[in-house]
A = this chain, B = another copy of it.
């Protein structure tokens, strides 16, 4: 029987990061990854296969890190966990472990809508053949309907739009696209941009059914309208893949993911979990969180793997840091939006600043950078910020995340030492993160 000191089930963002971390922290232990896929897709890169990369092949996560870190790889289906026996059953035989990390990921949610199983209806499965089929379908599609206006919906819409001249419609049941990720003013700006690129957006409307004989022909909405469709994409969320864990008796959490403590240990000794399959709690008050992102997965993986042979790391709760972009417009969030903060029950002060992302404003690459930050009203502690601007937004929110994670208050942020450059950043005099803190302080004084 095959065996390894550390066995990781799953080879995507969580599994690979966990394996690399285990190999780095425990160079004298053997680490084995068991994964189903021959080659693994970059999960967040999937939308970009269609209009930008123009090939499924170009969205592969390189396997070079297996050899570089001396990690073994077994391509097999895991069929059963046996915690008592400290082994797993796979399609290629049993594997014994000393420590096990579950990184089994998630699968797209299939909606309770008649017709979702018609040919031509695609959820976004992270499989090469599946996406190749989708790619070919989209190359010839005339009318594409995307159900769900979240990240998948928006990014797919824009990418499919680049492929040709299909008519594309996003159907979103909330009043705005991306409304779980940004406050309305940011969502509206993105909707306007998408619409200006020729994509139709229908919000505050549900899908009643997907119609067709053998293949999809149209989508019927709750307002009675019917949209022609020869391809439908479902982007309404993902559910954690927990079958193996559940059957083996591991405790499942409130969100339906594998329950873990702050060390990423499951209810079973010697079994850790991380990534989309693992239960998350919010950094803000500790309530269960349904967020699923590769960036969240990698943090959990680093914690799980470092703790395998003695606890050294603890998760402080999921902050939630993300970004998206369409054309030159990038939107990012670290921590809570205003709407989320209110839902959480915080008393808040918000502040908004806006200005050029270069100085002087005539420098090349200039675009408008807007930052909205949310502070707890009494302590002044930052709860989060949203940023719109150019490509650097993806990194601006990481500075915000550091401030959030260290629970910096507005006073600290106002004197936080930043660097600036005419060709790379906004002016030091009005640097957004610092300036927004000053604006919040002013507001807190007026109200306080």
Chain A interfacial positions (CB closer than 8 Å to B)? 13, 16-17, 20-21, 24-25, 42, 44-45, 48, 52-53, 58-61, 65, 283, 293-299, 302-303, 306, 312-313, 315, 318-319, 321-325, 330, 332-334, 359-360, 362-365, 391-399, 401-403, 405-406, 408, 411, 414-425, 427-429, 431, 433-434, 438-439, 441-442, 445
Q: Could you tell me if A417 and B405 are in contact, using CB atoms closer than 8 angstroms? A: yes
Shortest Cβ distance from A283 into B: residue = B417
Given known contacts A25-B442, A302-B434, A417 and B319 CB-to-CB distance under 8 angstroms: yes
* CB-based closest 6 A-B pairs: A394-B424, A321-B419, A402-B402, A395-B395, A399-B399, A298-B428
* Chain B residues whose CB sits within 8 angstroms of the CB of A322 once the complex forms: 419, 421
Number of copies: 2
A201 to chain B, nearest CB (A): 21
Given the complex of chains A and B, what is the CA–CA distance between A44 and B360 in angstroms? 9
Other 8 A-B pairs with CB < 8 A, given A17-B428, A53-B362, A402-B403:
A48-B363, A52-B363, A302-B414, A313-B414, A318-B417, A325-B421, A398-B433, A406-B406
* Chain B residues whose CB sits within 8 angstroms of the CB of A391 once the complex forms: 365, 391-392, 423-424
A446 to chain B, nearest CB (A): 9
* Chain B residues whose CB sits within 8 angstroms of the CB of A302 once the complex forms: 414-415, 434, 438
Q: B42, B392, B423: which contacts A395 (Cβ < 8 A)?
A: B392
**28 pairs of residues in contact across A and B, judged by CB atoms under 8 Å:** A24-B439, A24-B442, A42-B427, A52-B423, A58-B362, A61-B427, A61-B429, A65-B429, A294-B420, A294-B429, A297-B428, A298-B428, A298-B431, A299-B415, A302-B414, A302-B415, A302-B434, A313-B415, A322-B421, A323-B424, A333-B419, A365-B391, A391-B423, A394-B420, A394-B423, A397-B419, A402-B403, A405-B416
